[in-house]
Structure 1
Amino acid sequence: MHVAMEHSGPMFFVGLRFLTAGVISAIVFHRSLAGFRRIELIAGAAIGVALCAGYGLQTIGLQTVSSTESAFITAFYVPLVPLLQWAVFRTAPKPLVLVGVALAFVGLLLLAGPGALQIGLGPGQIATLVSTAAIAAEIILIGFFAAKVDARRVTIVQLLVCGLLSFATMPLLGERVPAFSWIWLAAAVGLGAATCLIQLTMNWAQRTVSPTRATIIYAGEPVWGGAFGRLAGDRLAPTALIGAALIVAGILVSELKPRGRGEREPLPPE
């Protein structure tokens, strides 16, 4: 995304990426198109708006802030999810889940590195900070609708809504279609294919995983980034390795389910 911003405007790139993902998902899951229900259109539209706001603002921020600084600011969605869920749905996270959130959040800050701590309050930083609220809302909305809808149909709607809405905001931001470049085209198509798989997996997985636990698991993304970077020859600083370990620890702690004395393991649903 950071490289693509050197050749494309933010909303055009987000629009092309998600419209590509929506078209791919519609082709792959074309047999499920006939069974659309009203709730799936509502869920897909709501998640699509949150996607557009989150990725759009984050991409706008990447025009003026480094990818490391962006990763640091974006990490604030981790504590935001349980707080928003608590405020909106009055669902208080369990103590061990809160411990997992704290470990994952500290781990993300260590992964970002000391250079990310030098943050001002410029337009790019503010846009990235606001994007964390939209990202948190996306995760909560997916968790709210996941068990009530078909993941394939909701994925198609949310991707298409995000793509079309991103294109629609271009005139409002004074953004024009960029000159053709194979760089933004390849990045948008490649990320679009990945986005199709990512959003489908999120919609399916959060049927059984709470938004707060899902957030902690999603915090493992930079850990995988570091692992693949290591294969490519990158080296992580000692503090980054500690951060990665804290994220993994947060995921494990959040999944612990302590039982009281004499309490039996619940039976799986029929």
Structure 2
Amino acid sequence: MALLLVTLVWGATFPVLKIATAQLSGVEVSALRFMLAAVCMAPFALRLPRHTWRDGGLLGALVLVSYVAQAFGLEYISSNRSAFLTSLNVLMVPLLGMAFGARPTLVMLLAAALACAGIGLMSWDGGANLLADAATVFGALAYALYVIVLSQRAARHQPRQLAAAQIVWMAGLACVWMLLDAWGTDKLQTLPSRLNAEILWGLAYLGVVATAGMLFLQAWAQRAVAADKAALIYAMEPVFAALFAWMWLAEALTLRAALGGAMVVCAVVLSEWRPAPAEVAVQS
């Protein structure tokens, strides 16, 4: 339920990002939201153990690589195509888990395939670009690795400390990325003039709720949830995103998209299914 709430909040970021990116670039939105999140988590980052900084740095770098690769791909392909390619991380998690010694069940693999097919129905619209497609798939791979590593290492740390370490690393790396992106331009000088009240409230939601709050909740919940099941729950994100886009942005949901959303929901339910234990006859 905690991870489902995380996914719900992530889905609600869709209209917020839509408004913010009308004035800010993707890297500016990322850097600003992570800086706000880092301020919120600063009290928990003051005396972190060295191993928490190490694991937090690895996890934060994986998440940031995923964001960077996805943002690059979005410069050349549609958001629908990007969403479909990004959703491949749902299938990558159980497959990559085999390399780490896990043995995914047939039911879990079927559920992952059903989730990907459902997101495909919701998102597919053509418009390929080899380089952008490859970058987006690489971003999906980075996030799949993040989910696996988080499930392996979350139990070693206090959730708030691990979330704080990740966010501080992400904020620092994102700021460096923003500075490099603005090199030789006037982007930093014009940044204050491009911020209005609506965007500032959106950034506050993205930084405080969707980043700081949800990374903490994610780190806590994945102490007890396997990586492959967590990835399937995260597959609900485009379903929630479509719902909020319909509610707030009046974007229509086609019959094909609704069918895809239903398939994702069925995949999540299927991932929770366990065969009943066989009854053992006892002879008297």
| TM-score bracket for the superposition, by shorter chain length | 0.7 to 0.9
- In the TM superposition, 1:211-230 aligns within 5 A as 211-230=227-246
Q: Which amino acid in 1 is paired with 2:128?
A: I
Matches within 5 A, 1:99-248: 99-113=110-124, 115=125, 117-122=126-131, 124-170=132-178, 175=183, 177-178=187-188, 179-180=190-191, 181-182=194-195, 185-193=200-208, 194-232=210-248, 233-248=250-265
Q: How far is the alpha carbon of 1:62 from its aligned partner? A: 2.4
1:131 is displaced (CA, Å) by 0.8
Secondary structure in 2 matching 1:257: coil
What's the CA shift for 1:164?
A: 0.5
Structure 2 runs not aligned, ≥5 long: 1-16
CA–CA distance in 1 between the matches of 2:19 and 2:247?
A: 21
The equivalences for 1:14-163 within 5 A come to 14-26=30-42, 30=43, 32-33=44-45, 36-87=48-99, 89-113=100-124, 115=125, 117-122=126-131, 124-163=132-171
Report sequence identity in percent: 29
Question: In the alignment, is the contact (CA less than 8 A) between 2:76 and 2:129 conserved in 1?
Answer: no
What is the TM-score when the length of structure 1 is the normalising length? 0.85
2: CA distance, partners of 1:41 / 1:209: 23
Q: Distance in 2 between matches of 1:187 and 1:42?
A: 31
Aligned length, in residue pairs: 255
Alpha-carbon distance in 2 for matches of 1:55, 1:98: 26
Q: 1:230 offset after TM fit, Å?
A: 3.4
Amino acid aligned to 2:95: L
Deviation per CA, 1:114-150, whole angstroms, max 9, x where unpaired? x2x332214x333222111111111112111111211
RMSD: 2.3
In the aligned structure 1, how far is the partner of 2:114 from the partner of 2:195?
40
* 181-190 vs 155-164, greater mean Cα deviation: 181-190
Matching residue of 2:3: none
> What is the CA deviation profile of residues 135-183 of structure 1, one whole-angstrom value per residue up to 9, with x for unaligned ones?
1111112111111211101111101101111222345556554422116
Q: Which residue of 2 aligns with 1:267?
A: none
Structure 2: distance between partners of 1:127 and 1:34: 35
SS in 2 for 1:91: coil
* Comparing 38-47 and 213-222, the one that deviates more: 38-47
Give the deviation of 1:187 after TM superposition.
4.3
Question: In the alignment, is the contact (CA less than 8 A) between 1:81 and 1:211 conserved in 2?
Answer: yes
1:3 offset after TM fit, Å?
5.2
Query: TM-score when scaled to structure 2?
Result: 0.81
Question: Is 1:10–1:60's contact at 8 Å kept on the other side of the alignment?
Answer: no
Deviation string for 1:168-224 (max 9, x for gaps)? Answer: 234555655442211665543331122112211211111111110000000001111
Q: Structure 1 or 2: larger helix share?
A: 2
Q: 3-state DSSP class of the match of 2:130? A: coil
Deviation string 1:31-59 (CA, Å, 9 cap, x unpaired) is: x5566323322221111111111112212
Give me the whole-angstrom Cα distance separating, in 1, the residues matched to 2:91 and 2:232: 9
For residues 34 and 144 of structure 2, what CA distance do their matches in structure 1 show?
19
